[in-house]
Structure 1
Amino acid sequence: MADISNRKQQNQAFLQELEKQRLNKDCNRIIDLRGKVAGECQCYEFGDRQHYLDDRAYLLVKQLMARFDGRYTIGVYEAVLKALKLLAQQETPAKAQLDTPLLLRLDSSLQRSEERITFSTPIKLRLDDVLYNGHTVDIASQAIRIAFKRTHSLHADDIVRIEFTDFPHPDNEALLTAATYQIIKIDHDERYTTVVLCLAQQDDVFDHVLQTWLTAHGAQASVDVDDRLINLQNQFYQRVWLSHLHQPQLWLASKDEIQALLAVHIMPAAQAVYGANFYPQFLQQLPLLQVCAGAQDVIAVVHADSSYGCALSQKKSVKKLINWHLAKPASRLLWLQTSQVNFSNDTMANELATISQLNSDYADNLESTLHAIRKRVSLLDMSHCFSNVSADQSVNQSQLSSLQSLKLFFDDDLATPNSLQQHIERACSRFYIRTPVTIQLENQSWQVETLDVSAHGMSLYLPADTDVSLNQRISANFLRWQTLTKKVNLQAIPYQVKNKQLWNGKLKLGLQRIRYNCPESLNQFFDWVIAENADKLKTDHDDVIKAAEGRLFSAQLTPTLATLPVFLGMQEGQRDITLVGMTDSNVAENIDNHFWTALRQQMLHLSEMLKALPHDLNTLITTLYGYQNSQQQWSLAFEQEFNHSRDKTLWMQRALKNPSLIAYHCVIHPLSSDEAHLESDVADQLQQLRQLRAHKVQQLRQQFGSLFGLMELTDISPMIRLFYQSD
């Protein structure tokens, strides 16, 4: 047996020696990758043969030849082919995956230090001894963007040498001296690589030649406007998101201030949820004193005149609050999410200057308010998230006595809530005109006084309990004005409710006159009477002031929002995720791509839920649950899929076995094709850029017009885990 074992070892050693000798022999085979790889293949000579390799294959050959004392051997040849085959196999699954949805940063704009000129000219880029041929996309004095065939060995921060081989400039030799650049950004797709480079070393001669050429060719037709188009896209999606924001925003001063609540913003979607309950009395019940004292996340339950709250970190107390909420169907379970904010003079200067030109006193008061604000609170109503849940313990009111919220007292001049509108366009000027009118709505009528009037509309107050909805038709009789003319009938003039706001016992309506239902003589009368008296009236600039104020608050709000805005639209005839908005706080870029794949598969279900909405509701509020299994696949479920609390409990028990359990408070807003027309200033700027980038402008218009929904996802996983997991 020992002889047989020794003989096997000797045979194995002999075969290994033969294989070693075979691999060490000089190789006569040529490696030609032209047409087989996406990258550019350069001609390299080694082993007395000419080979055509891309950058990755060349570096592999170089490394392997170093192991064979610089010789091109059979071992080098076979190892290169084996490595390239393995790398190709590794790339194939990545191509099969669905693309990550487009991520667009909505909390900042793209700022360029200088203009770029769109110009294509051939260049050579050298990294050590590897040569790349490409073409410029755009050029600036300090940076250039270049496109190549697919590369593998270029990386961010690499220092490279650039030669402009065919630059149309009389002093071309200065551009052939190979300027030194550093790669600051690199993007790849299957076929091409695009890099952005900035000058790494200053060369006065090179800089002078390039700057002279840029000055001579800096005509508007060749200026790169991609940054302006990206900012317009950013602006549009940010406005759509904030205009549908489902969470009221409270702006607080420090705990030392007498008046803690300094500003309130509530959008129409949130008004529909809170309705008449969003009074100062409701805000007084919130545990805002805890927030002012330093609490970051506070859970509160408000029921009638009772209010209780505690920090999210107090798990046992939070569970008591949830169970007490479940026992009180009319109560609200709220999450107060706090962020630190600071309004600096640099960010406020332009907008305050705009306001000051129209109303200096208002601008001064607003500046004082902004300097005093230290915290922002998002008010998330989670009552829907526990609608299909049974209490797991009985909690009485006495057990919550230590959690009772201290009431925050407000001054009589508490700021009226506003919506975050960044652009308000009026068809005609409004003037402060107080005149008596009789408002008729179905079988009811009120005699009130207008707040302001224009040729196309007016605003006024009605009693707080008036049942009126947006776009509802009402009629108005102008009592005093009718005594001044007999030429037109100023009775039963049709108006439509375009805006309403209920606050502190008053209902403010914005009314638009239905001009096409009025005789032409009546339209001419309103145009004439306003124009005739315009120089005697005080103009209402509330639109300009509120828009500037909205931009101020939006700039501070957006970076601190943890909500994920997911825009849904039509792409190639299919319902899909158009893009996802990123902020500093919502970590959209860290979400697993398989989650987006699973959410895409829910598009049909989402559209069916939207279609099933009652006519009097324009928002779907639900909860989205999900967990990832060992194969990295996500299982998702909406609240509506659970017919009974038992079904939900069983699903949650299965989900809790996975550490990846997530739960999102989900609000879905249907969007109409007219959404793009509401932001008329964005549309006007796109029109101005159409001559420069017609194709890109057309793409953006189609993208805006194809939107059918906005999904707001707010992570409530800590609350769900806390309730379902055993103590």
Structure 2
Amino acid sequence: MKSLVQTSDFDQMFTMLTSDLPKSKQFLLKMELKRLAQPCDYFIDLRGHVDGDVKPFPFQGKTHYMDEQAIKIFEQGIKQYGTFTLGLYEEVMNTDNNYRVMHRKETEQRIRKALNASESELEPEQQAEPTNQHQARFFQFASYINRIEERMNYSITVEVMLDDGKKYSAQTTDISVQGCKLKLAKAIDVELNSNLGIFFRELEQEYTLDRQTPIRYKVLEVSPLDSKYQQLRLKRLDGTSEQDIEFSNFLDKFIRGNKRRYKLNLDNTLDAVVIKGYEQFFVPRMSALAVFVSVHEGKSNPQCVLTTENSRPSFHYFQDELQRSVLPQVLNAKRLKQLLQQPSTQRSSQLFCFTHASKGKLYFYSATAQELAEQPELSALFLGFGASKKSWKVFQLSLQPTSLKFSQLQFQIPGTTAKEQTKGSPHLLDGYLKNLRFIVSMADISSEQSNSWYQQIRFDKAQLSQLNRFAHAKLAKLPFCEAIPVKYVNLRFEARYLYKTTVELFDSAQQALPQSFSRDFSPNGMQIESMLPLHINKGDIVRLNLPDLQKISNKYTLSHLPYEVMAVSKSGTIMNLKALSTDEGHAGKQFFQLLIQNNRSKLTVAEEPVKHPGLAPALRNMYVKALDSFPFYIHRKGIRYDLKAVAAGSQLNSLHLLLQQLNADKEHLIIEPLIKHNAVSLHFANQLKNMKRQDPPTTYELYIQLSDNWQQQPEQGFRCNYDYEFSTEPEKQAFFQQAIASGSLVLAYKIWLSRTGRPDSDYISQELDYISQYAIHKAKMIEEELWSVVGVGELIDITDEVLLRFAIPPEQRAEQHQMRQHRITG
């Protein structure tokens, strides 16, 4: 009846078709039909609301944005209604691929299942199903598999001859000049590392190859395919005969001529580009300070630090009044030896620190958990007094070995050489990197909540002089430890342009400051330099005039512009300013936007100088290889937020080992326990929505309780709670006390959640270009996957610190440590 509403015989047809309905229902139905037939002038914009490619769709002078499914419904509705009506609008906004509709249907389905079946009515396999639903892709950083040559997917029948002279028929799955993969009957016994020969009968017949002897191969891997077949990975043995060389030349030409027809095997390139893509999200947002320790002539020394926006405050914390790093004193040889004496999988500790300012000098005090355990009479004194200081910090230390060979983790595109892909010579850095032996990761795990527990510790003030044994002496000369910032992509949300112009500066009291000049500008800020030191601090509000720029603008008033001081140089002559938002709009911001828009080709982009070309990427390679934290990634698709990827370095975190025990799939981890109580879809998602890329990370703590039967009954035996689920701090302590009293193993983790910026496309451009030549759809899928990442998290084990913080007795802490060794880390 929708198409009849506007016709003259609608009432007659309606009465005839609804004669069996009550009058009340007839009335409601007619009103609804007339409502749906009302003309509509709404714009339709489905961008970000549907699972489909949205494109412009002009209609009667307006441009709507719809995908193919919506366009089909819209065109059918126009034929049915005769015009754009409210009913048609509602149909288009409620298509099956609309995220809102999909979410509602999923919710209704879950409710329906809950109402129709109780848990006791389900079969055991069905009860285990929810645990297996939430899996995250698992991959290891820096695990690139290089191929020196291209491998083509090519299936032909070959004849395999074993060492005993017996011959069998087999099928190739891919082939390269120096290797191939075969599908062979499982019943045939083939030993690893044995040699065999292959006759390529089909190639010989088709291309008239005259071979009397087989091509010799070595068996590198034997793996089952299914119940009937096994797969052999073979490497060709060196052949120096004229026939072998001739066959190599034939294969090379054959693959080059047919690789677009049969398609190349891109598995290793696809894996590498995904791993590199996720690496470039994590490293610029890592929260732990990576300290690189060199060993030369038997002496250790922190040589440099890899810093990010998140970890830079930790580096500044360990600088004295002369801006010298005291890390060589804090990470001294004795403490490094303590860490090295622990098992290779557990080289970690806690570092407790505070500072004391006196007569213009800054004194540092620090102690490790092991040092306090060796001097229990001073433990309460150090922790209680130190926590009363504003400078109190707790760091989680972790030590991992490293080597120069890890500095050049370069993925090699098949058919090229590493030299073709590497900019500059990595050998120039060898002198700087050759003595690096260890990486100490220092994660700041302190918080107001945790500090409050240490502040409750009672101590004898009369013994404060005893703390001098934890003080670091003031040295006239300290070994130099420099900060190397991560260099991936320009992470600023807008470009800065070099430009020098006069700036008249006024402080908050409207007092004129020494005349300054701009060094660079962007719409939202600028950097200025003064001839004399400016007595301005970070956070101050200043106002400035731009007299020279005012001469070229009559549209904007470039005087008394409010800016916030974001940073001041040590000399006090250089300041970074950020435009303050006003109700009327910031005239300076509007002016610079227009200036950049009209003069972009004439302006010079400000590039940050690089002190050691290639050093930051080399240190980054070494760090991701030694990483022992638990990176994870949150993707957004429409309105849904999901934890879809988890990463690891060469050293697995205790949580990796724990989750691996829930399933045997090496490529995925079951993350069901971590996302209980809608942690990702609600709490993390709401946090990320309110964050910007440049915001500091939000921190959480995750507490896990494992009972003896947690592997058999993970739903009951694997209990996870986030810190925000507890209303008070004593409730957290009670959780640990009760869990330990029941004989359960307890674990605690610190989480840093950061908003990501755009992917660094340049970092993976070569790999994507290569993939696009042969499988452009796969390259697009990878780009879509990486562009959907909106959040990156880092998780580290802080169990020992939490047990100490909540005053768990030493004997119970030792018991928990042994239990953790037995159940998880081994």
- Measured against the shorter chain, the TM-score band is 0.5 to 0.7
Q: Is the 8 A contact 1:341 1:556 kept in 2?
A: yes
1:486 Cα offset (Å): 5.3
2:706 alignment partner in structure 1: 628
Post-superposition CA distance 1:198-238 (Å, at most 9, x none): 23685854564244222343256354444333332222211
2:751 alignment partner in structure 1: 666
**Residue number among 256, 274, 280 corresponding to 1:218 in the alignment:** 256
2:785 alignment partner in structure 1: 703
Corresponding pairs, count: 614
Post-superposition CA distance 1:458-511 (Å, at most 9, x none): 644687623289xxxx997555577xx758889639999999666647675388
2:737 and 2:723 map into 1 onto residues whose CA distance is 15
Q: Which amino acid aligns with 2:255?
A: H
1:567 Cα offset (Å): 1.7
- Evaluate the alpha carbon distance shift between residue 276 and residue 544 of structure 1 in structure 2; reply closer, same or farther with a 3 A threshold: closer
Post-superposition CA distance 1:527-561 (Å, at most 9, x none): 57658xxxxxxx97646667733212212222222
Q: Which amino acid aligns with 2:539?
A: D
Identify which range, 597-606 or 125-134, moves more after superposition: 125-134
Post-superposition CA distance 1:666-693 (Å, at most 9, x none): 112234xx633x4345357525532312
Post-superposition CA distance 1:397-454 (Å, at most 9, x none): 6365154231465879977745312234999998976553346899989653334579
Q: Is the 8 A contact 2:407 2:618 kept in 1?
A: no
2:571 and 2:397 map into 1 onto residues whose CA distance is 25
**Residue number among 675, 696, 705 corresponding to 2:758 in the alignment:** 675
Q: 5+ residue gaps in structure 1?
A: 1-88, 358-362, 532-538
1:248 alignment partner in structure 2: 289
1:295 counterpart = 2:335? yes
Q: Which amino acid aligns with 2:749?
A: Y
- What SS class does the counterpart of residue 314 from structure 1 fall into? helix
**Residue number among 607, 614, 630 corresponding to 1:564 in the alignment:** 630
- Evaluate the alpha carbon distance shift between residue 232 and residue 328 of structure 1 in structure 2; reply closer, same or farther with a 3 A threshold: same
- Evaluate the alpha carbon distance shift between residue 546 and residue 410 of structure 1 in structure 2; reply closer, same or farther with a 3 A threshold: farther
- What SS class does the counterpart of residue 107 from structure 1 fall into? coil
Identity of aligned residues (%): 13
2:398 alignment partner in structure 1: 337
- Evaluate the alpha carbon distance shift between residue 239 and residue 151 of structure 1 in structure 2; reply closer, same or farther with a 3 A threshold: farther
**Residue number among 516, 520, 543 corresponding to 1:448 in the alignment:** 516
Identify which range, 518-527 or 221-230, moves more after superposition: 518-527
- What SS class does the counterpart of residue 772 from structure 2 fall into? coil
- Evaluate the alpha carbon distance shift between residue 341 and residue 496 of structure 1 in structure 2; reply closer, same or farther with a 3 A threshold: farther
TM-score, normalised relative to structure 1: 0.66
**Residue number among 244, 247, 260 corresponding to 1:209 in the alignment:** 247
2:219 alignment partner in structure 1: 182
Q: Is the 8 A contact 1:488 1:522 kept in 2?
A: no
Q: Which amino acid aligns with 2:675?
A: Q
**Residue number among 268, 271, 284 corresponding to 1:227 in the alignment:** 268
- Evaluate the alpha carbon distance shift between residue 210 and residue 403 of structure 1 in structure 2; reply closer, same or farther with a 3 A threshold: same
1:714 alignment partner in structure 2: 796
1:139 counterpart = 2:194? no
Pairing 1:558-707 to 2, within 5 Å after superposition: 558-569=624-635, 575-586=641-652, 590-593=657-660, 594=662, 596-602=670-676, 604-611=678-685, 613=687, 619-631=697-709, 632=711, 633=714, 634-656=718-740, 660-671=745-756, 675-676=758-759, 678-682=760-764, 686-687=768-769, 689-707=771-789
Q: Is the 8 A contact 2:328 2:478 kept in 1?
A: no
Q: Is the 8 A contact 1:150 1:191 kept in 2?
A: yes
2:456 and 2:553 map into 1 onto residues whose CA distance is 73
RMSD in angstroms over aligned alpha carbons? Answer: 5.6
1:144 and 1:99 map into 2 onto residues whose CA distance is 36
- What SS class does the counterpart of residue 727 from structure 2 fall into? coil
Pairing 1:258-269 to 2, within 5 Å after superposition: 262-269=303-310
Q: Which amino acid aligns with 1:217?
A: I
Pairing 1:171-570 to 2, within 5 Å after superposition: 171=208, 174=211, 177=214, 179-184=216-221, 186=223, 196-199=233-236, 204=241, 205=243, 208-219=246-257, 221=260, 222-252=263-293, 262-271=303-312, 280-281=320-321, 288-296=328-336, 297=349, 299-305=351-357, 307-314=364-371, 316=373, 317=375, 320=380, 321-326=382-387, 331-343=392-404, 347=408, 370=433, 375-384=438-447, 386=450, 389=453, 393-396=457-460, 398=463, 401=467, 403-407=469-473, 417-424=483-490, 435-438=501-504, 447-451=515-519, 459-460=527-528, 465-467=537-539, 478-479=546-547, 492=558, 504=570, 509=576, 517-518=590-591, 522-523=595-596, 526=599, 542=608, 548-569=614-635
**Residue number among 105, 108, 113 corresponding to 2:140 in the alignment:** 105
2:636 and 2:352 map into 1 onto residues whose CA distance is 39
- Evaluate the alpha carbon distance shift between residue 241 and residue 410 of structure 1 in structure 2; reply closer, same or farther with a 3 A threshold: farther
1:499 and 1:338 map into 2 onto residues whose CA distance is 38
1:245 Cα offset (Å): 0.8
Identify which range, 510-519 or 143-152, moves more after superposition: 510-519
1:275 Cα offset (Å): 11
1:170 alignment partner in structure 2: 207
Post-superposition CA distance 1:15-49 (Å, at most 9, x none): xxxxxxxxxxxxxxxxxxxxxxxxxxxxxxxxxxx
Post-superposition CA distance 1:289-324 (Å, at most 9, x none): 252324235612215546432344335258545555
Identify which range, 297-306 or 424-433, moves more after superposition: 424-433
Q: Is the 8 A contact 2:635 2:643 kept in 1?
A: yes
1:654 and 1:191 map into 2 onto residues whose CA distance is 53
1:601 Cα offset (Å): 3.5
2:809 and 2:623 map into 1 onto residues whose CA distance is 34
2:181 and 2:350 map into 1 onto residues whose CA distance is 48
1:203 and 1:94 map into 2 onto residues whose CA distance is 57
1:148 and 1:463 map into 2 onto residues whose CA distance is 79
Q: Is the 8 A contact 1:259 1:410 kept in 2?
A: no
Post-superposition CA distance 1:66-103 (Å, at most 9, x none): xxxxxxxxxxxxxxxxxxxxxxx99x999995686433
1:105 Cα offset (Å): 2.3
2:493 and 2:734 map into 1 onto residues whose CA distance is 56
Q: Is the 8 A contact 2:708 2:744 kept in 1?
A: no
- Evaluate the alpha carbon distance shift between residue 653 and residue 693 of structure 1 in structure 2; reply closer, same or farther with a 3 A threshold: same
1:621 Cα offset (Å): 0.6
Q: Is the 8 A contact 1:137 1:146 kept in 2?
A: yes
Q: Is the 8 A contact 1:619 1:668 kept in 2?
A: yes
- What SS class does the counterpart of residue 311 from structure 2 fall into? helix
- What SS class does the counterpart of residue 592 from structure 1 fall into? helix
